[in-house]
Amino acid sequence: MQRVVISVLTITFLLLQSQLWFGEGSITELLYTREQIERQQNENERLYRRNRLLAAEVVELQNGLEIVEEQARLDLGMVRKDETFYLIYD
């Protein structure tokens, strides 16, 4: 009788251990999920830095074009298509 109880407990213990290490929600699955999360966070950080650089470049280009247009208006008398140019002499 005692051997049967020990055998049943041993089999139950092995089944529980196998579930812990290899089943759904196992330690292996947990470690894999943590690794995926870390990789995704690194990728998100890389993309965030790239987006910040692109946004800064867009602002720089917009300001750069405004400066070029201002210089063209002042130095070369640039007029846009729908604008009217008035020249006033003193």
Report which residue type is found at 17: Q
Statement: residue 77 has pLDDT above 90: no
Where along the chain do its domains lie? 1-76
DSSP conformational letter for 2: H
User: Alpha-carbon distance 52 to 49, whole Å?
Assistant: 5
If one counts every other C-beta atom within 10 angstroms of the C-beta of residue 73, the result is: 14
What does the pLDDT look like over 46-64, one tens digit per residue?
999 999 999 998 888 888 8
User: What's 23's DSSP letter?
Assistant: S
Is 81 a residue whose pLDDT tops 90? Answer: no
Enter the pTM of the model.
0.52
For residue range 10-47, list pLDDT tens digits in order: 999 888 888 777 778 788 888 999 999 999 999 999 99
